[in-house]
Amino acid sequence: MPSNVTRRRLRPAALVAAALLTAAMAGCGSSDDSSAPNPAPSETATAAADAPVGVVGINDPWVKAADQGMTAAFATLVNESDADVTLTGVSTEVSPMELHEMAMKDGEMVMQAKEGGIVIKAKSSHVLEPGGDHLMMLDLKQPVQAGDELSFTLTFADGRTQSFTAVAKPFTGAEESYNPEHSMPDMSMSPSAAS
């Protein structure tokens, strides 16, 4: 008899424990179920945390590796806003910098400062690339080797700034050189690099 009483007492206790365990599991199950669809928001939050929060999106940033002299940084700038955005300056600790473009001058492709800055149209993107608009690094203070990560700060016409990091890569095109005939340090691009 004592064993039956013990069993009867355990049975309600076991039922209560089972009910609590089931409720707890249902709670966990529902949080698991809600977390199954929730990776998208948490991934979005992670992506948002990783993406530079700023004036423009900066896709695929990279720097041309160089031992000395000058080089350039490239990326695709994405403007998702309803208004045009104008990039007016850029800086880094590795060298002085200017916004540059490639233009035809006297039948030759030359590199020159981009007058008025670089405009990224509303709901559009602007590619910074070798042979086109780019972020020029002048008079390197140290070699920029493949794999190095460099930090840059963009300045916009309205005074806002935005920082990003780019990785250096080897690249054999766009061999720039100073053209001492001009008052500003214009750089010309070799004919082989222009092709």
Q: What is the pLDDT of residue 51?
A: 43
Q: Dihedral, CA atoms, 140, 142, 143, 149, nearest 10 degrees?
A: -100
What are phi and psi for residue 95, nearest 5 degrees?
-170, 165
Tokens found for residue 8: 């009867």
Amino acid letter for position 46:
T
154: CB partners within 8 A, 6+ apart:
54, 55, 56, 87, 89, 90, 161, 162, 163, 164
pLDDT of residue 183: 33
Q: So what's the pLDDT on residue 31? A: 38
- The pLDDT, as a whole number, for residue 173 is 65
Q: What is residue 34's predicted lDDT score, i.e. its pLDDT?
A: 40
Regions of the chain with pLDDT less than 70: 1-53, 173-195
Nearest residue to 65 via CA among 154, 174, 163: 174
Task: Give residue 172's pLDDT.
Answer: 76
Give me the phi and psi of 189, to 5 degrees please. -105, 135
The per-residue pLDDT for 4 is 46
Stretch (H or E) spanning 154: strand 149-156
Q: Which CATH class is domain 54-194?
A: mainly beta
pLDDT at position 53 is 57
Give yes or no for a contact between 109 and 188, defined as CB atoms under 8 angstroms apart: yes
Environment class of residue 131 by beta-carbon count within 10 Å: exposed (0-12), middle (13-18) or buried (19+)?
Answer: middle
Q: Which of 195, 186, 193, 192 is nearest to 106 (CA)?
A: 186
Give the start-to-end residue ranges of the domains of the chain: 1-50, 54-194
pLDDT given for residue 49 in this prediction: 40
Give the pLDDT confidence score for residue 175 in this predicted structure.
54
